[in-house]
Amino acid sequence: MPDDVFEITAEQHSELMEGQSSGKVIAYKSRKIQLVDADTIKKTWEEIRDRRDRLLANCDWTQMADSPLSDTMLKAWRTYRQKLRDITSTYSDPNKVVWPLAPTEA
């Protein structure tokens, strides 16, 4: 079983199901399960996309034809940029996103 599995009471399960049926989203954070407004989740994903887009824009220069980078660094930047683009398909929970480190930070 995954490390983050834990038991909940029948009452907690009932509350979660009721909340979900009223438009809330079940979220897991800090070993705690809770109901969150769907708009909050949507806003969090928007903030993640905005940050990702800024990080990509800040390193666009690495992919230009006249970039001064070595082949090794060019490849490292390509890998980093792909990891940034994959964030929204890699993670289903915005609270569990782990940001990749830029090659200059690694």
Domain ranges of the chain: 10-96
Distance (Å, rounded) from C-alpha 24 to C-alpha 40? 10
Residue 30: pLDDT over 90: no
Task: Average the pLDDT over 24-47 and give the result.
Answer: 80
pLDDT of residue 1: 63
Distance (Å, rounded) from C-alpha 81 to C-alpha 62? 10
pLDDT of residue 81: 98
Q: Helix crossing, 38-58 with 71-90: angle to 10°?
A: 170
Residue 7: pLDDT over 90: no
pLDDT tens digits along 42-90: 899 999 999 999 999 999 999 999 999 999 999 999 999 999 999 999 9
Task: Average the pLDDT over 13-22 and give the result.
Answer: 88
pTM over 0.85: no
